[in-house]
Chain A
Amino acid sequence: MDYFLTEEQQMIKELAARIADERIRPVAAELDEREEFPWELMKVLGESDLFAVWVPEEYGGLGGGVFEQALVVEELSRACSGVAVSYAASGLGSFPILLFGSEEQKARYMPDIASGKRLAAFALTEANAGSDVSSIATTAIEDGDEYVLNGTKQWITNGGEADIYTVIAVTDKSKGARGASAFIVEKGTPGLSFGKKEKKLGIRASSTREVIFEDCRIPKENLLGREGMGFIIAMKTFDKTRPGIGAQAVGIAQGALDEAVQYARQRVQFDQPISSFQGIQFMLADMATQVEAARALVYSVARLVDSGARDVSRAAAMAKLFASDVAMQVTVDAVQILGGYGYMREYPVEKMMRDAKITQIYEGTNQIQRSIIALDLIKEAARKGK
């Protein structure tokens, strides 16, 4: 399918694909096995200017947006989704700054993120606040020229590895959903530490870790936007990043489909390649159709988001929801096509199946995406009904 990429977008896609094929795929199984953060690859991505694609030129970027980032994430994910999410999480951590940061904040933090010199991370989730973000308990109390943060964030992608954390914390409990605010906290700030590193089912090259604040004092100018905007900032950020999770899912699914097609042509049973069986052919056909549909949706939504359109939450949720469900289905089918070999770690598809699962969970579970879509539909109908 031709998605009419510009010359620059084509270049981005090709470079990301080259890095995926030459640098990432050869080490993907080992990174997974050792659960090791891929610093060397992050350096390669930085030197190749891939962290710059979603950053405006005035802050050291190349002036692209969500779509350009999605192209990179998709290509990297074909080879290793753990590497891809470590890259993408720097986007997740940086969008709050790009969207709501002051000139000074953007000028201070974005150039290093764009060059890949420093990674970013986004810290919202806590032990008792997953889907229900409003029950976060981490607090940020104003004290003179500073805010003092206390609490523990969990499952933070790039936790411990990132230098720049955007953190959502409660500034005024009495105000409920309007009582949270967003802050920038730099690694090295006294009172900021990192706890347990999780052992995971998939995306095992990525770091998922507790981020702990104990009387962590940050200057007042590290507040993003105004007090009380914490959840709005989080939601607007997800509008920008959910298409990226969709792209991650498309990449995983494409990787699994490629493996399945190749294997089906080679594997001989009953004196013929298994690709000659219609039972296998129809599976491959459905997989390919699903992947293309997911890609078309993700690309359209990414372009919509970049257009500056308002109210893109429904579309962003759809891209993430549909593509991640496709990735799960397609990777399960790929394992099926490879049979017992597919179940073995010697072949890459079992990892893809493990990696696919997370795309249905993070940045809002797929149930939460369905709620967002449904509520938006109902709201729209009510508006029209008036």
Chain B
Amino acid sequence: MHIVVCVKQVPDPSQARIDRDTGLVIREGVDKITNPFDLYALEEAIRLKESFGGQVTAISMGPPAAKEVLKDAIAMGVDSGILLSDRQFAGADTLATSYTLAQAIRKLGDVALIICGKQAADGDTAQVGPGLAANLDFSHVTQVRKIRQLNSTETVVERLTDTGYEVLGLRLPAVITVVKEINEPRLPGLRGMMRAKKAEIPLWDSQVLDVDPKRVGLNGSPTQVWRTFEPARHQKGEMLVGSPSEQAALLLDRLRSL
């Protein structure tokens, strides 16, 4: 079975801030890491490979430097990585990204399962997974917290909901997006890191991918971001004073008037 994991390089969310004047994410001096949610997708794919055999390919779209997240994926245990990179791909929204990734998966041909993290930590849209399924006409389920069964034609998964979980069956080929509850991602091993160091990451550009130029990058992106901002923090605390029973009465008052 051929499993594809889509991974994204993002600015480390623990360091990320927004420039108050421009409204843009400050990227300078911020480390770039694998989207944390994608680590769960990678781990799940590697576990499936370990139990059922097959191969795992990680795909990322991004600038040449995004090669690093594919190397990290290889260090964890995936077999190979492919980078989709082209000036034309720059500025893509989720629609253009899904299309471009889908073209790469079409080119691979034999993919049975695509696993994505539930969302990217920078854009937070959670749209690319379902977008891929739509482009490829694959079945899909988001927010998967467990893969119960998998064979060459179908899979049964548990989907996390607000109140519990649903059990759903999907015919393959399929796309699933996974949540943190699904596993604990492993650290890379030294052997994996050494393999990653030597690994060649093929670069697929618009020529290789045979894409419609109107559907990639900025051209293919109808989404317009009007404004981004960091919400001002309101942290005004109020100290209630008095005897414990007076304080309790005051608190009750406040709560009632909310």
B186 in contact (CB, < 8 A): yes
Please give, as numbers and ranges, the residues of chain A lying within 8 Å of B194 by CB-CB distance. 8, 11
Cβ of B186 and Cβ of A11 under 8 Å apart? no
Cβ of A49 and Cβ of B197 under 8 Å apart? no
Cβ of B189 and Cβ of A62 under 8 Å apart? no
Please give, as numbers and ranges, the residues of chain A lying within 8 Å of B187 by CB-CB distance. 15, 18-19, 22-23, 44, 47-48
A247 in contact (CB, < 8 A): no
Smallest CB-CB separation from B187: which chain A residue? A48
Cβ of A48 and Cβ of B190 under 8 Å apart? yes
Q: Which of A1-60 contact B (CB under 8 A)?
A: 7-8, 11-12, 15, 18-19, 22-23, 44, 47-50, 52-53
Instruction: Please encode chain B, from 186 to 229, with 1 for each CB lying within 8 Å of some chain A CB and 0 for all others.
Output: 11111101100100000000000000000000000000000000
**Contact size class for B?**
under 10
The majority secondary structure among interface residues of chain B is helix
Min distance, Cβ A149 to any Cβ of chain B, angstroms? 36
Cβ of B189 and Cβ of A47 under 8 Å apart? yes
Instruction: Please encode chain A, from 220 to 260, with 1 for each CB lying within 8 Å of some chain B CB and 0 for all others.
Output: 00000000000000000000000000000000000000000
Alpha-carbon gap, A53 to B193, bound state (A): 13
The majority secondary structure among interface residues of chain A is helix
Cβ of B186 and Cβ of A47 under 8 Å apart? yes
Please give, as numbers and ranges, the residues of chain B lying within 8 Å of A12 by CB-CB distance. 190
Min distance, Cβ B94 to any Cβ of chain A, angstroms? 31
Cβ of A50 and Cβ of B186 under 8 Å apart? no
Cβ of A11 and Cβ of B189 under 8 Å apart? no
Please give, as numbers and ranges, the residues of chain A lying within 8 Å of B193 by CB-CB distance. 11, 15
Please give, as numbers and ranges, the residues of chain B lying within 8 Å of A50 by CB-CB distance. 190
Alpha-carbon gap, A48 to B193, bound state (A): 10
Instruction: Please encode chain A, from 354 to 371, with 1 for each CB lying within 8 Å of some chain B CB and 0 for all others.
Output: 000000000000000000
Min distance, Cβ A265 to any Cβ of chain B, angstroms? 20
Alpha-carbon gap, A48 to B185, bound state (A): 12
Smallest CB-CB separation from A23: which chain B residue? B187
- Other than A11-B197, A47-B189, A48-B190, give 12 A-B pairs with Cβ distance below 8 A: A7-B197, A11-B190, A11-B194, A15-B188, A18-B187, A23-B187, A44-B187, A47-B186, A48-B188, A49-B189, A52-B191, A53-B190
Could you list 25 A-B pairs, sorted by A, with CB under 8 Å?
Answer: A7-B197, A8-B194, A11-B190, A11-B193, A11-B197, A12-B190, A15-B187, A15-B188, A15-B193, A18-B187, A19-B187, A22-B187, A23-B187, A44-B187, A47-B186, A47-B187, A48-B187, A48-B188, A48-B189, A48-B190, A50-B190, A52-B190, A52-B191, A62-B190, A62-B191
